[in-house]
Amino acid sequence: MKTQFIPETILYTGDQLCSHWAYEQYDLQGDSIVSFVGPCDVGKEKLVDLADRKRNKIIYSESMLHFIVEHFDLDLEKTIFRQKLLVVILMEKLMNRLHSSVIQRFGDDLFDGDRKLTVSIATLTPVSTKIHAGINISSQNTPVKTRGLIDYGLDPRELAEAVMNQYEVELMQTLMARAKVRGMP
């Protein structure tokens, strides 16, 4: 599992969910989690989430902290569990920094009261499964009520590094957990 924070601003368009994006852009070969800051603007035809597409939902944010994960297996159900784990880690890291339980998870989204903090999707490519999770930095001009890291006074990069390190640790624990239990009859 390779982790990397990209310091350049990158517009998230959904193209980052294509296979090998991290390899082609940043030479990260194999399973990886990459993070960067940038606006989010996914046109309808780029929407991976067909439920959003049906409802003409707009995914837009002036500035978000993005995570792009790629696992080179084809078990989408397993990657949806990994996606939940990534969102949970994000929630926990926020709560630790805010010393508050105000952040709540509904499915794969985080909320502060009725204000939405995140977007997230998991999908698959011909060779891998991929996750996008984004958390608002700015809460300005969003199509629904939101809050962002600026509202909490949190540093995106510090948060990104903490989330990526924890994600890497948890996946390693998962592999190790598999290797420490005897079978039952």
Query: Shortest CA distance to 149 belongs to which of 164, 139, 161?
Result: 139
Residue 9 binding a copy of itself, by CB under 8 A: no
Shorter beta-carbon distance to a copy of itself: residue 8 or 51: 51
Q: How far is the CB of 164 from a copy of itself (least distance, A)?
A: 17
Q: Is 183 in the site for a copy of itself (CB under 8 A)?
A: yes
Q: Is 179 helix (H, G, I), strand (E, B) or coil?
A: coil
Q: Is the Cβ of residue 106 or residue 141 nearer to a copy of itself in the bound state?
A: 106
Q: Please, are residues 109 and 119 in contact by the beta-carbon 8 Å criterion?
A: yes
Draw the binding track, 17-56, toward a copy of itself (x: CB under 8 A; -: no contact).
Answer: xxxx--xx--x-xxx----------------xxxx--x--
Tell me which residue of 130, 150, 177, 168 sits closest to 61, measured CA to CA.
Answer: 150
Which residues are CB-contacts of 176 (< 8 A; sequence separation ≥ 6)?
A: none
Q: Dig out the tokens for 135 from the structure.
A: 């958390």
Dist. CA 133–CA 80, nearest whole Å: 12
Of 41, 72, 154, 168, the residue at the interface with a copy of itself (CB under 8 A) is: 72
Hunting for tokens 């890497």 — which residue is that?
A: 168
Check residue 76 for interaction with a copy of itself (CB under 8 A).
yes
Contact residues toward a copy of itself (CB under 8 A) are 17-20, 23-24, 27, 29-31, 48-51, 54, 72, 74-78, 80-85, 88, 92, 95-96, 98-101, 104-105, 107-108, 121-128, 130, 170, 173-185
